[in-house]
């Protein structure tokens, strides 16, 4: 039998406050879905406007500035979410989703609309299945999560190296491993959130924190799958 950090069996933990935890998770999924919808709307809006594309994609300073703004916003969000109001936390989450949408507009220049839509639905189906695993499995996935987090460092370093090598084989391996790692993180993060909600120690903004966590799992899995199976424009 597997035991959690408090020395109690995981079956005991999952038996406590399941209904409340599931309700909180549904709130989390709703926030995440709204964030994904906003990202899609902004991405398509920017991609359909030549003027917006020129500002966002045609200007490297603006494009990379948006990427750094996203990174800074994630760290700020993590630092203030526990003590900020729900309105402020939600505004930060949606701002991040909008900034992501602006940078994702470049995907519509590289891939066909049909392949983007197809990969999105594949990602959504995989995400749903993996979340279900995290929700219902009795196995402790913390070791899987820790391994995936550390392995992502290797993927990140390999991606930087491949910028200079331009190796097709290495690029393929990075994308496959990236899909597997974010699949594992989706199940792990779902289980972790359920246990946090069930513990009764969750703060008021945990659904939004969880929404950002799962949102990041989703979009990263989507990006790796798109690089693997997306049809590029001629």
Tens-place pLDDT, residues 205-226: 999 999 999 999 999 999 999 9
**Helix extents (H) in 49-85:** 50-56, 60-80
Inter-residue long-range contacts of 76-85, CB under 8 Å, 24+ positions, other chains counted: 77/209, 77/212, 78/209, 81/203, 81/205, 81/208, 81/209, 82/203, 82/205, 84/205
Query: Please, what is the average pLDDT of the chain?
Result: 90
Give Cα 38 distance to the centre of its chain. Answer: 14
Read off the pLDDT of each residue in 164-183 and give the average, rounded to a whole number.
Answer: 96
Read off the pLDDT of each residue in 7-29 and give the average, rounded to a whole number.
Answer: 64
For residue 234, with 0-12 CB atoms within 10 Å meaning exposed, 13-18 middle and 19 or more buried, which class applies?
exposed
Q: Where are the domains of the chain?
A: 10-229
DSSP, res 232: B
99 vs 10 pLDDT, higher one: 99
- Measured CA to CA, the distance from residue 49 to residue 233 in angstroms comes to 18
147 vs 204 pLDDT, higher one: 147
The pTM score is 0.90
Q: Is the dihedral of CA 159, 163, 164, 167 positive or negative?
A: positive
- Measured CA to CA, the distance from residue 121 to residue 127 in angstroms comes to 10
- Measured CA to CA, the distance from residue 205 to residue 68 in angstroms comes to 24
- Measured CA to CA, the distance from residue 192 to residue 4 in angstroms comes to 11
- Residue 66: which residues within 8 A CB-CB, separation 6 or more? 56, 99, 102, 103
Residue pLDDT, tens place only, 138-155: 999 999 999 999 999 999
Residue pLDDT, tens place only, 45-61: 999 999 999 999 999 99
What pLDDT does 200 receive? Answer: 72
What pLDDT does 78 receive? Answer: 87
Residue 123's nearest CA partner among 44, 215, 45 is 215
Q: Does residue 2 surpass a pLDDT of 70?
A: no
- Residue 136: which residues within 8 A CB-CB, separation 6 or more? none
Residue with tokens 């913390």: 142
Residue with tokens 């974010």: 182
- Residue 109: which residues within 8 A CB-CB, separation 6 or more? 47, 53, 57, 233
């Amino acid at each position: 039998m597997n035991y959690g950090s408090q020395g109690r069996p995981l079956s005991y933990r999952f038996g406590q406050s399941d209904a409340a935890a599931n309700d909180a998770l549904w709130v989390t999924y709703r926030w995440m879905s709204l964030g994904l919808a906003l990202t899609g709307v902004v991405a398509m809006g920017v991609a359909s406007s030549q003027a917006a594309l020129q500002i966002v994609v045609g200007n490297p300073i603006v494009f990379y500035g948006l990427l750094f703004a996203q990174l800074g916003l994630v760290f700020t969000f993590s630092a203030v979410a526990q003590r900020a109001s729900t309105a402020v936390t939600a505004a930060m989450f949606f701002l991040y989703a909008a900034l992501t949408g602006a940078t994702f507009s470049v995907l519509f220049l590289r891939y066909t609309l049909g392949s983007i839509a197809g990969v999105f639905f594949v990602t959504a189906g995989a995400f749903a299945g993996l979340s279900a695993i995290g929700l219902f499995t009795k196995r402790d996935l913390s070791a899987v999560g820790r391994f995936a987090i550390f392995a992502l460092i290797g993927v990140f370093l390999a991606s930087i190296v491949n910028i200079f090598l331009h190796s097709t084989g290495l690029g393929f391996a990075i994308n496959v491993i990236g899909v597997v790692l974010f699949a594992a993180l989706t199940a792990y993060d779902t289980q972790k959130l359920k246990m946090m909600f069930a513990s009764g120690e969750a703060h008021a903004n945990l659904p939004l924190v969880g929404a950002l966590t799962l949102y990041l799992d989703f979009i990263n899995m989507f990006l790796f799958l798109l690089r693997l199976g997306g049809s590029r424009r001629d």
